[in-house]
């Protein structure tokens, strides 16, 4: 349990604190190199936030093109610029996720409040903060704000009130907040979690789904573990908390007796030593797939490396650039007319052959069994055609009746059951008609629903012909072929 406790021998206690800090943080002279976050800007540029730390007051120098290299799929990626974040005027958006379940003890909660308050008071002038609590449910106590007094009031009001814990949902909600693109919000995001690692919620996200989401998002998670004695029953929960932090690119701090305030103070100092590097990705195809980028730093005769995954959005659908859908659904006849204007004429005798090849391919794709639609999805008014694509390959095509809303996900209870993609949630999103328009709404999925490259919030968003939905690793293309209640 965190806290100094009582000690009759101050010198012995001081030595114990120094030893604990030596275990919790790298010693001077030991290189530490980690990619905290990667952001895809306007292609072909990406920005990487790097922790370069040697245990001293300043990061090792130089971190430049002669010492820092980036690679992807064996290809070198040119470094455009690199500079320390400190002094650049760019802040950090911190997300604090706090456990308020009664599996903890009141002295621990008091330490959390005091340490978080000191952390907030020391935040930089350009830093923002948001506060989440989790127990029986996840609550957003303070949305992103630069108002430190508001954050301090909400932290001071934290109490142990809930009987169960929903850590997995809290981690997912943290990642959702970290993806926000609010104007003025700092690009760099850091999550700090204080918990005993328990997850007692029934249903919801599994550990594997949370791990997969953390790997894909690249939001660094710094987790501070707590326990209420005896320690032994808590070790499995703390081990999972450690895995969540390390997979995200962050770090886990065990309950080894080090004062919580000292840990957060040292962590805050280290986070101020981060560098950002702009990298040219023009040699890579921006086709919506995920790639692994490796960074290598030559330092004191050794090469330090780290890797992170990055999705290469096409320039027209980059998360940093919003692509608005058309104002009204396009009819099938209009779409065919536009294509006819730019499509070359083929010899007449080739048309039957092409039709035969298309039928054979369609039949073979349906035989794969990767996707399944419930019988009601293939009957009734054929008002919408849905094309399922994965990694650029067409997997299935089927029609959907829009007489009522339909859910998409990997659960057998979904109206459109999509198999073979572990990144999908059981009930991922839903399509529905309202006043003659087609809408899509995310159903609190683990990895989110993206419309033309932009992640959806909790609100329903209209969609039109030709729009693309990204669900996990699966792309769903939509095409209206008639208005509501129109005959097939």
The winner for highest mean pLDDT among 5-9, 84-88, 156-160, 466-470 is: 156-160
Structural domain harbouring 130: 10-26+89-272
In a shared domain, residues 20 and 59: no
In a shared domain, residues 175 and 294: no
* pLDDT single digits (tens) 120-158: 999 999 999 999 999 999 999 999 999 999 999 999 999
In a shared domain, residues 190 and 264: yes
Q: Which of 64-78, 132-146, 246-260, 373-387 has the lowest mean pLDDT?
A: 373-387
Could you tell me the CATH number of the domain that includes residue 446?
Answer: 2.60.200.20
Q: How confident is the model at residue 267 (pLDDT cuts 50, 70, 90)?
A: confident
The winner for highest mean pLDDT among 37-46, 212-221, 259-268 is: 259-268
The answer as to whether 54 is a domain residue is: yes
Q: Which of 176-185, 219-228, 359-368, 392-401 has the lowest mean pLDDT?
A: 359-368
At residue 134, the 3 state secondary structure works out as strand
The answer as to whether 488 is a domain residue is: no
Look-up: residue for tokens 């087609």?
438
In a shared domain, residues 262 and 138: yes
In a shared domain, residues 332 and 421: yes
Helix (H) or strand (E) holding 45: strand 45-53
Q: What is the pLDDT of residue 422?
A: 77
Q: Which of 143-152, 290-299, 360-369, 390-399 has the lowest mean pLDDT?
A: 360-369
* pLDDT single digits (tens) 210-235: 888 787 766 889 999 887 655 445 56
Q: Domain total for the chain?
A: 3
Q: What is the pLDDT of residue 302?
A: 82
Beta strands of 146-288 (E only): which ranges? 188-195, 221-225, 251-253, 275-280
37, 381, 428, 431 from 408: Cα distances, Å: 30, 19, 6, 8
Could you tell me the CATH number of the domain that includes residue 156?
Answer: 3.40.50.410
Torsion, Cα 115 117 118 121, to 10 degrees, reads 160
Write phi, then psi, for 303 (nearest 5 degrees): -115, 115
Domain boundary among 263, 285, 315: 315
Q: Whole-prediction pTM value? A: 0.58
pLDDT of residue 256 exceeding 50: yes
What span, in angstroms and rounded, lies between the C-alpha atoms of 304 and 310?
20
Residue (of 160, 186, 164, 220) closest to 35 by Cα position: 220
pLDDT of residue 260 exceeding 80: yes
User: Are the beta carbons of 128 and 146 closer than 8 angstroms?
Assistant: yes
pLDDT of residue 330 exceeding 60: no
Question: If you write DSSP's letter for every residue of 205-233 in order, what string do you get?
Answer: --HHHHHHHHHHH---EEEEE---S-SGG
The answer as to whether 195 is a domain residue is: yes
């Amino acid at each position: 349990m965190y806290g100094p406790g009582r000690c009759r021998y101050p010198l012995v206690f001081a030595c114990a604190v120094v030893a604990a800090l030596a275990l919790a943080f790298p010693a001077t002279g030991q290189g530490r190199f980690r990619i905290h976050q990667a952001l895809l800007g306007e292609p072909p540029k990406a920005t990487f936030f790097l922790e370069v730390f040697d245990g001293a007051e300043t990061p090792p120098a130089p971190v430049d093109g002669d010492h820092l290299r980036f690679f992807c799929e064996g290809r070198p990626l040119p470094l455009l610029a690199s500079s320390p974040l400190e002094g650049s005027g760019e802040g950090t958006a911190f997300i604090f996720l706090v456990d308020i379940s009664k599996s903890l003890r009141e002295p621990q909660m008091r330490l959390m409040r005091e340490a978080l308050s000191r952390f907030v008071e020391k935040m930089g002038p350009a830093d923002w903060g948001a506060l989440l609590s989790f127990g029986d449910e996840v609550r957003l106590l303070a949305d992103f704000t630069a108002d430190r007094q508001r954050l301090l009031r909400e932290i001071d009001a934290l109490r142990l009130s809930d009987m169960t814990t929903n850590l997995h949902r809290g981690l997912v909600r943290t990642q959702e907040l970290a993806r926000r693109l609010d104007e003025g919000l700092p690009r760099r995001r850091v999550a700090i979690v204080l918990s005993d690692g328990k997850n007692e919620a029934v249903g919801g996200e599994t550990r594997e789904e949370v791990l997969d989401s953390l790997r894909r998002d690249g939001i660094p998670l710094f987790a501070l573990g707590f326990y209420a004695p005896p320690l032994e029953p808590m070790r499995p929960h703390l081990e999972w908390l450690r895995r969540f932090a390390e997979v995200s690119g962050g770090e886990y701090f065990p309950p080894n007796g080090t004062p919580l305030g000292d840990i957060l103070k040292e962590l805050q100092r280290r986070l101020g030593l981060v560098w950002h590097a702009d990298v040219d990705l023009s040699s890579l195809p921006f086709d919506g797939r995920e790639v692994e980028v490796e960074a290598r730093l030559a330092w004191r005769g050794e090469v330090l490396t780290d890797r992170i995954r990055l999705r290469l959005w096409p320039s027209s659908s980059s998360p940093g650039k919003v692509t608005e859908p058309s104002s009204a659904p396009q009819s099938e006849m209009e779409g065919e007319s536009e294509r006819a204007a730019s499509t070359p004429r083929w010899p007449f005798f080739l048309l039957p052959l092409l039709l035969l090849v298309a039928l054979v391919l369609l039949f073979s794709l349906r035989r794969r069994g990767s996707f399944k639609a419930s019988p009601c999805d293939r009957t009734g008014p054929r008002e919408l055609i849905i094309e399922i694509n994965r990694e650029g390959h067409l997997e299935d095509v089927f029609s959907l009746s829009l007489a009522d809303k339909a859910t998409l996900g990997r659960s057998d209870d979904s109206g459109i059951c999509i198999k073979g993609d572990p990144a999908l949630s059981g009930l991922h999103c839903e399509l529905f008609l309202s006043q003659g328009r087609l809408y899509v709404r995310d159903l609190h999925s683990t990895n989110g629903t993206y419309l033309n490259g932009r992640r959806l919030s909790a609100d329903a968003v209209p969609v039109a012909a030709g729009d693309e939905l990204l669900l996990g690793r699966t792309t769903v293309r939509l095409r209206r072929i008639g208005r509501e209640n129109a005959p097939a």
